[in-house]
Amino acid sequence: MKKSIHLVSFDIPYPPNYGGIIDIFFKIKELHKLGIHIYLHTYLFNDKTRQPELEKYCEKIFYYKRKNAFLSLFSKLPFRVQSRSCNKLIENLKNLQFPIIFEGLHTAYPLKKYNFKNTYIRAHNIEHAYFLGLFKSEKNIFKKVFFFLESVKLKRFENILEKATGIFSISPFEQAYFTKKYGAKTFYIPVFHATTNLTQTDEKGDFILYHGDLRIADNVRAALFLIDVYKNTPYQFVVASSCKNKNVLKQIKKYHNLNFKEIPTQESLEQLFNKAQINTLFTFQKTGIKLKLLNTLHQGKHIISNTQMTEDTGLESLCELANTKEEILEITSKLLKQTFSKAHIIGRKEKLLEFNTMVNAEKIVAIIFKQ
């Protein structure tokens, strides 16, 4: 019997070049391999265009225009929900009575308007906590106000989860939160990602790497913190990103041992992983699970991370924990002398078994179709 689902994505899931979209794209690929017919619903905005690549994995794709109107800011609904509200989407979901996966709380507007059956929400974060974290990291006063108000609205809107058949959480931390609030209908489905095999080399690297999207306030804050740690040290420290940030570049130019590397492609990031001896992964927001943590565990050598990056992920033992400048420098000195051995790779492989994307796709199918 043919099994079909609707999947409502908050953004076009191709190319898979940032956290949430990586999870969605590789989830689609794995569900397609299992023979699931996917009716994808997604949004056009910010000059984004239709992506023929997705037609390889989807039975049909529906594109809707996201409403980025200024007035959406004054809605009682969160901006990210109101701007994606669409009567045509609701009509299309009603016309084909398939189970529905809403990707992120921000795509769940249809549940407010109609009592759909067999609906699941993929919780990419505890959204109100995520926006509160952005509020704390942001320096621009207008953005700070927006992030705070969005956090308040998202906390109120989260009650829509009561109407869902099930919730797919993305990390043990989120699983505990949603289970406490919404009970046994919450299922932990680890994040979907591109890398299935570990590709590290045991050749010694010669620098320390931090990589992240410098359009995000938390990543800028982390980069500036690490620059302060490694400036005036004998260590070579590289900040890498697909985009530039003026404040980060300004600080880097002051010190001879700091460098910025642009990473326009995944291949350029992989080259940095291959050459770096240590990867620094820091965040000031404990939300979800960072895709760059998984990516680095599969492709990088030693990792220094802070508590908020790894706590309640199940991956704590694979990283060296450091929260202060002194702790970071002490561990850096140790790891620069330490070969990344075959034993390290074997240990990671065992721990990363729960992130097998095919197994997790099978879990989703079993839950939705009650196998």
CATH number at residue 74: 3.40.50.2000
pLDDT of residue 102: 98
What gap in Å lies between CA 121 and CA 152, rounded to an integer? 20
Residues in Cβ contact with 73 at an 8 Å cutoff, skipping those fewer than 6 apart: 79, 146
Q: What pLDDT was estimated at residue 371?
A: 55
Query: Which tokens hold the place of 314?
Result: 């199940």
pLDDT score for 148: 95
Task: Give the integer Cα–Cα distance in Å for 335 and 208.
Answer: 10
Residue 113, in any domain of the structure: yes
* Residue type present at position 2: K
Residue 48 belongs to some domain of the structure: yes
Residue 215 has a pLDDT of 84
Residues 21 and 150 in one domain: yes
Residue 146 sits in the same domain as residue 275: no
C-alpha 179: how far from chain center: 21
Residues 182 and 292 both lie in one domain = no
The encoded tokens of residue 360 equal: 């997790």
Residue 51 included in any domain: yes
- One domain for residues 144 and 220: no
Q: Are residues 228 and 165 in the same domain?
A: no
Question: Residues near 300 by Cβ (< 8 Å), separated by ≥ 6?
Answer: 200, 209, 273, 276, 279
DSSP 8-state symbol, 345: H
So what's the pLDDT on residue 269? 86
* Count of structural domains within the chain: 2
Kindly state whether residues 234 and 188 are assigned to the same domain: no
Same-domain check for residues 324 and 362: no
Q: Specify whether 100 is located in the same domain as 248.
A: no
Residue 199 belongs to some domain of the structure: no
Same domain, 48 and 97: yes
| pTM for this model (two decimals) | 0.84
Would 200 be classed as within a structural domain? no
Task: Give the whole-angstrom CA distance, residue 72 versus residue 66.
Answer: 11
The neighbouring-strand residues paired with 40 are 7, 61
Short-list 22, 19, 47, CA closest to 357:
22
Q: Same domain for 28 and 87?
A: yes
**Does residue 185 sit in the same domain as residue 290?**
no
The CA distance from 50 to 71, in Å, is: 26
The reply to whether 121 falls in a domain is yes
Q: Does residue 256 lie within any of the structural domains?
A: yes
For the record, the structure tokens of 137 come out as 């990291």
Residue 161 is part of which domain span? Answer: 4-194+356-368
Q: Give the pLDDT of the chain (371 residues) as one tens digit per residue.
A: 689 999 999 999 998 877 788 899 999 999 999 999 999 999 998 888 899 999 999 999 999 999 876 666 788 999 999 999 999 999 999 999 999 999 999 999 999 999 999 999 999 999 999 999 889 888 899 999 999 999 999 999 999 999 999 999 998 889 999 999 999 999 999 999 876 667 666 778 899 999 988 988 889 999 999 999 999 999 999 999 988 999 999 999 999 999 999 988 778 888 999 999 999 999 988 766 677 888 889 889 999 999 989 887 888 899 999 999 999 999 999 999 999 888 888 888 888 888 889 999 999 999 999 85
Please report whether residue 201 resides in a domain.
no
Nearest of 273, 272, 281, 292 to residue 321 by alpha carbon: 281
Q: Are residues 102 and 240 in the same domain?
A: no
